[in-house]
Amino acid sequence: MLALILAFLIGAVSGSRTLFGPAAVSWAAYGGWLDVSGSWLFFLGHTVSPWVFTAMAVVELIVDKLPTTPSRKQPFPFASRVAGGAIAGAAIGANVGFWIGGLVAGGIGAVTGTLVGYAARMRLAAAFGRDRPAALLEDAVALIAAVLIVAAA
């Protein structure tokens, strides 16, 4: 049950920042904290994977701040967040032999995180009077949450 909750939560992180969930579970798999070796998610533990996911996450952080970046609620960004959350959730589920449950929980978490994260960011941006501080706060919360979630898995 704990694995499903953590899968949901790492999915919610991906709803906020698409690649934070996959990057976090990739580092955990590479470091031996998550065992994905016997599943289709084995690639997450490869030597190169955490570096690639981290580089893509950094690019995402930069692109997120650009004025031309589409809303996370548009079809492609939304689907990307769900896919990232589902993969990250599946990795947490695979650690306890239940990747399908983790996949579903991570996907549901990503949908929730996308919608709740959007609403929270809009409220914070309104309170700050501009978007940048809200975006940076969202980045920090997502990063800290990702680290704490994989540490608990």
Domain spans in the chain, listed from the N-terminal domain onward: 2-152
Return the CA Rg of the chain.
15
What mean pLDDT is reported for the chain? 95
pLDDT per position as a tens digit, 72-119: 999 999 999 999 999 999 999 998 989 999 999 999 999 999 999 999
- Residue ranges of alpha helices (H) inside the chain are 2-16, 20-30, 49-64, 75-94, 99-128, 131-152
| Residue range 34-51, pLDDT digits in tens | 999 989 999 999 999 999
Which residue bears the tokens 């706060």?
Answer: 137
Query: What average pLDDT does the segment 129-148 reach?
Result: 95
31 has pLDDT over 90: yes
- Give the pair of three-digit tokens for residue 144: 């800290």
